[in-house]
Structure 1
C-alpha cells in the first residue's frame, strides 16, 4: 500500500511552505524530507526523514505495512514533527550570527562554555583570553569580509535578492560545507551576488544535479576554485556541473562515487591546473590516462583511489609520454602499488617534479628486503636481533630508490631533493643492480632478459652513460670482512705543500672525524671548513660533503674518489 506524498489541507501557515527534498537538522543530525503528511492512527502533520546516518532512524520508510517513502538504508528513515526540524537560515543571517559584533568583555565572540572546558582540560582556572574583542569588531565590519567560513551553520537559502551583496560585497572565499542547501540554484543565487568570489566550498551538501546546469553559468563567472567533496557524485555528474564553472582552475572532488573517468569535452575544464580525486575508488590507471589530454593540468591528486598499477599506452614504451604534458605534482599515497617497475613508469612524465608516495605496498616490501640485507651485512654472527633504527634506514633507502628512478624529481614527500642526494641515490641504485646488468650485457644470448631488465630499470643505461659502467666488484652484495667496510680515497689539500695522500677510511666514519684525520695527516694548523668529493669515473662532477654528523657512506663515496679539503 502506498501512502500519500503531499499533505492535505493544512491549517497551519508555517507548514504550507514545506517541500519534499528539503534538508533539515535535528539534534545534530542531518536528513532529507521524503514525506509530508499524516501517519495514521495519529493526527497532524509528520515529516518522513531519510537521515544521512545509516542507523539514525528506525525503518526504511515503510511503517505499519504502509510505504510512505523509500530511505537509502534499512534503518535511516523515521518520522518527526515539523516543530522539531531546523529548516535553516539564509546566508546573510548565518554571516550576521557568525561574524556579528558581540558586546561585552575582552572575550567577545568566544564560546564561554568551550573556554570553561578548556580551563578544566588544562587545569588552568585563571586562564585569560584577551584581545578577541578587537578581532570581533574587525570581523563584524561585514563590508570588509573577504574570507567567510559557514560550515555547519544551517544555511539553506540565499536570502532576499541583493541582500548578500549589500552585506558582504568583497567575499573572495566562501565555505558553505555541510549545510542545508539542497539544490544548485540556491548556490547560484548566493554566488551571483559575489563578483569577487574566487574559492567556493560546497562539500557535504546534498545538491541535486540541475536539469539545465548551463543556465546557471552566469552565476559563477568569477569562480576559479571549487571544492565538491563527499557529495556522492559520479564523474558524469561532475562534468554536468562543470558547465556552470567556465573559468575554473582548481577542482576538488574528493571522496565521491567516481569509479570511471572520461576525457572532458573541448569546452569543459580545459583550463584546469589542479584536480583532486582523492578517496574515489577508481582503481585502474587506464581510467587516469583518460585525463591525459588536460594540457594545462599541473597538480593531480589520486591518493587513496585503490590504484595498483601505473602504465601509459604502449606507444610510449621507450619514450616520454605525450599525456599530462604540464603535470608537475602527483599525489599517489595510500594506494596499492606493489611493484617498483610502476615507479619507473613515472619517468615517462615530461614535467613531473613533485611526488607524494606514502603507504604503498612497494615501500613495505622494500623495507623488509632491505632490513634483511642490512642486518646480515652488518652483523656477522647473527642469530636473532631487532633494531627499530632500521625502520628509518629503510625509509631513507626507499626515498633514494624513487629519486634514482625518476630523473626530473625535485621534491619527494615534501622534501627537496638536492643534487648531492640525487647523485648518491643514482650511484647506489647502479651498484644495487650492477650484478644483474653485468651478467646480462656480457652475454649476447640473454637479449630477451636484458630487454626485461630495461623494462624494469629504464634509466639504468642513462646512468651508465652518466657515471660510467659498473665494475664487477660494484654489486649490492656486501662482504662481512673489515676490508669491505673501508673506502680507498685520495685526499687533496690544495693549500698544503704535501702531495695527495691515498688512505683507506671506514665507511661509517663521520665527516667531523674525517676532517680531524685530514688535519693530522697533513699537519694543518687551521680547521678544515669545507670538504668536497670528485668521482673517479666522472671527474667533472664535484659535490660538497656538507654535514659533519653524517657518515661518509651517506655521501656515496667510493673507492678511488678524490676528496678535496679547504
Structure 2
C-alpha cells in the first residue's frame, strides 16, 4: 500500500460473536513502482535470478535442489519453461503485457508536482516505455495506483502499436487533460480500438468524456460501474461492441443513448436487473427505444425478465437481432401450460424460439429449420389449448397476448378449438381428477385378446395413475400380459411431411391412392398423423395424454 493511502486505512472492530478485519497502523506501505520497473519484475526477474545461480559444482547442485518442484514427495521436471522465460524476458519483443495489481504509478505525469501544488507539471516527455518495450499491442494495467488519466496516456503515447487497453479497477480522481496534452496524445487516440473500464467506477458522463478522444474505438467494456440510467452524453459512433454487465439497469429504456450508435453489432447486458422495456419512473421518454438494425447479438441472461410480453417486444426494440442469450431469468423457473402443468426449461426454449421469428441462434445454439418447425407447431398447440380451456368471449384477450398467432395459422393451418364444459366442473371434485381413455385394438392384439374382449372399450382412471397402472388395466381387460402390449396415443394432430417425402410426392402422384392431407391456410400438403408412444413407467398418465380424454391404440410388441 503506498504511503499516500495509509491515511485512508481503516480498522475493523470486531463485535461480540462476529468476525472482524484488521489492518495494523504500523504496517509498512507497499511502495509504488514505475511502469518499467513493474515490467521487469513481472517478466524478467526470474531470468535475473537464474543468472546468479552457479552452473557447476556442489553449489550448483545445492541451488538446483532448492529450486526443484515437488508434488506428493516426487520431484517434477519442468520441460520447456526456460525457453518461455527467455522469450518473455526479451522485453523488446513483448506484444501482450499484463501488469495488473503491481502498484504502478507515474507521479511525474500528474498535474501538480509534489514540490508545489500550485504549479502545473510540463507535458510528460519521458521515453522509458518506448525504449524498453515498443512492440506492445495489448496492455493490461488494471488495479494499480493511477490517480489521473494523463498517467495512463503518458504510457500509451509511447506505444506505436497499441490497439487494446485495459485499466479495470483503477480509481481516477482526475480525468481531464489540457488542450496541449490532447494534441500530444491525438496519435494515440487514433490507434486504440478496444478499451476496458470495468470497476473503475466512472459515471456515464465520465465514460463519454474519456471515450470521446478515441476516434477509432470499436469495443468498449464498462461493467461493474453501478450504471443505472444513461442520460445525455454520447459514445463514439465507431463502436460495434458494448459490454455493460453487472450494472443496475432495470429497463431497456435506460440505455436509450445507445440507440444512436449506427454501427453497433453486439450488446452484452448480463447480470443486470432488467425486467421491463420502459421504466416510467426513470425514463422521461415513453416511446419504445429502437436500436439500429446492425445490432445482431444481444445478451440478456441473468436479469429479472418474468413475462412473455417482454420477449414479444424484443424484435421491436432490436429489429436486426438474430442471436439472443436470455437464459437464467425468472420467466423460465416457473413456466406452466394453459392447464396448469409445469413446463421444463426445454419448453421455455421452444416457446422463446417460436415467439421470435428472426432468431438464428438462441443461448449459443444455432436454430435448425426442423427445430423451428417443432417449436412453432408446439407454440400453436399451446395457444389452441389455452383457447379451448377458456370461454369464447375471452378469445380476443388471449390472442392479443400471442402476436404470431395469425402468422402461424397462415403457415400451419388454424388449429381446431374444442371447448368443453370442463371449466364448469369444480376443480376440487372427483370428476375433474378423472381422465377418459378410449382404447382401440389393432393387428395381433385384436386376434390374441381373450374371448369376449371387445376391440373397442373405454375406461376412466384418475389422472395420477401411472403408465404402469394403465397398462395393467388394459392387460387384465384383454387377458394378455401387459409386458407384451404397446400403447400409442393418437393426438389427432398432423405433422408436415419431410422435404424428401414432398419431393417423392411431386414425382409420384396417383389418384388411386388415398393419402392423409394436412391443410395449411388455402394449401393442402400431405402429412403424417402425430402419435406418442406411452412408455411403461412411473410417470402419471396425464403427462402423456393432454386434456381429459384421449384415444389410445393397443398393439402387440
Q: What range is the shorter-chain TM-score in?
A: 0.5 to 0.7
1:209–1:241 contact (8 Å) kept in structure 2: no
Alignment partner of 2:83 out of 131, 134, 141:
134
**CA offset at residue 425 of structure 1?**
0.6
Say whether 1:161 aligns with 2:126: yes
2:338–2:382 contact (8 Å) kept in structure 1: no
Alignment partner of 2:330 out of 361, 366, 369:
361
CA separation of 1:433 and 1:187: change in aligned 2, threshold 3 A: same
Partner of 2:292: 324
Higher alpha-carbon Rg:
2
Deviations along 1:296-336, one digit per CA (max 9) or x if unpaired, are 111111222211112598766xxxx7433221111111111
Say whether 1:282 aligns with 2:249: yes
1:90–1:158 contact (8 Å) kept in structure 2: no
Partner of 1:464: 409
**CA offset at residue 454 of structure 1?**
4.8
Partner of 2:95: 146
Partner of 2:273: 306
For residues 368 and 73 of structure 2, what CA distance do their matches in structure 1 show? 46
For residues 205 and 485 of structure 1, what CA distance do their matches in structure 2 show? 64
CA separation of 1:419 and 1:115: change in aligned 2, threshold 3 A: farther
**CA offset at residue 370 of structure 1?**
9.4
CA separation of 1:326 and 1:115: change in aligned 2, threshold 3 A: farther
For residues 253 and 403 of structure 2, what CA distance do their matches in structure 1 show? 21
CA separation of 1:540 and 1:212: change in aligned 2, threshold 3 A: farther
**CA offset at residue 209 of structure 1?**
3.6
Deviations along 1:427-473, one digit per CA (max 9) or x if unpaired, are 10011112445799x96x76xx62x4454322222222222212236
Partner of 1:402: 352
Q: RMSD of the TM alignment (CA)?
A: 4.3
Partner of 2:42: 98
Alignment partner of 1:271 out of 224, 238, 242:
238
CA separation of 1:453 and 1:195: change in aligned 2, threshold 3 A: farther
**CA offset at residue 144 of structure 1?**
2.1
For residues 501 and 125 of structure 1, what CA distance do their matches in structure 2 show? 78
Deviations along 1:223-279, one digit per CA (max 9) or x if unpaired, are 1111111112221221122223222111101001212203544xx421111111111
Q: Which runs of 5+ in 2 are unaligned?
A: 15-19, 54-64, 109-124, 280-284, 424-433, 440-487, 529-557
Partner of 1:486: 490
For residues 291 and 88 of structure 2, what CA distance do their matches in structure 1 show? 46
Partner of 2:114: none
**May I ask how many residue pairs the two structures share in their alignment?**
414
SS in structure 2 of the partner of residue 200 of structure 1:
strand
1:158–1:164 contact (8 Å) kept in structure 2: no
Report the TM-score, using the length of structure 1 for normalisation. 0.63
Matches within 5 A, 1:48-67: 48=7, 50-51=8-9
2:333–2:345 contact (8 Å) kept in structure 1: no
For residues 113 and 536 of structure 1, what CA distance do their matches in structure 2 show? 82
2:519–2:525 contact (8 Å) kept in structure 1: no
**CA offset at residue 98 of structure 1?**
1.6
1:347–1:405 contact (8 Å) kept in structure 2: no
For residues 351 and 95 of structure 1, what CA distance do their matches in structure 2 show? 44
Partner of 2:341: 373
CA separation of 1:427 and 1:309: change in aligned 2, threshold 3 A: same
Report the TM-score, using the length of structure 2 for normalisation. 0.64
**CA offset at residue 482 of structure 1?**
7.3
SS in structure 2 of the partner of residue 156 of structure 1:
coil
Partner of 1:343: 311
